[in-house]
Structure formats: C-alpha cells, structure tokens
Amino acid sequence: DAKTTQPPSMDCAEGRAANLPCNHSTISGNEYVYWYRQIHSQGPQYIIHGLKNNETNEMASLIITEDRKSSTLILPHATLRDTAVYYCIVRVANNAGNMLTFGGGTRLMVKP
C-alpha cells in the first residue's frame, strides 16, 4: 500500500469547515483513498472513500487532486463531536490479501 503523510494535529473553530490534508505521492492507479476517524476510546469509523472523482456523503466531502498525489477531507460545519483522530489510508479495493494499515493520523480538535 502507498504510504500517506498527514499533519499530526489541527484545530478548527466550531461551525467552520475543517479541511484535513493527506499526501499520498506514491499512490498507484488502482489504489483508493479511504478516510476513517476514531473518537477517543472507540473503534474507528468509516467516513468516505474515492478513486479519482470527488465524493460527498452525509458526513464529509473528499477532494482528490487531478494527479491523485494528495487529497483533502472536508467536514463542512465542524461540531465539538467531530473532535477525533482522522486516518487517511490508500489501498487496492477488493483485494482480499490487502488489509487496512492505519498510520498516525491527524488529531483534529474542534474548539467552541
């Protein structure tokens, strides 16, 4: 799996958009970008994933650059409950021999 690089921590004001960057410069053509988050002491939760087109769901938006070497997870209106560690992962989809490897992630602190 391609290695990802994320800032270790970020702050965001409540109600503002949180933009979390991820670099994956060695991503290959068949690797997807996945985002999970882990709220303190809980198991990680799936947020969104994409290949090359931008994606949006009820939780967030995922913007992938045209060269696919980086992406940004956007929480449009951050709330205090969005405080968590956010993990960016790249892997080949539907590959039975390929597990999700979690790195250090970005610790997002949403402040009132």
Partner 1 sequence: EADIYQTPRYLVIGTGKKITLECSQTMGHDKMYWYQQDPGMELHLIHYSYGVNSTEKGDLSSESTVSRIRTEHFPLTLESARPSHTSQYLCASRGQGNEKLFFGSGTQLSVL
39 contributes a contact to partner 1 by CB under 8 A: no
Q: Report the residue from 29, 67, 96, 112 that binds partner 1 according to the rule CB under 8 A.
A: 96
104 contributes a contact to partner 1 by CB under 8 A: yes
As a whole number of angstroms, the distance between CA 31 and CA 50 comes to: 9
Check: CB of residue 79 under 8 Å from CB of residue 87: no
98 contributes a contact to partner 1 by CB under 8 A: no
94 contributes a contact to partner 1 by CB under 8 A: yes
- The site that binds partner 1 (CB under 8 A) totals a number of residues, namely 20
- Chain residues binding partner 1 by CB under 8 A are 32, 34, 36, 41-46, 49, 93-94, 96, 99-105
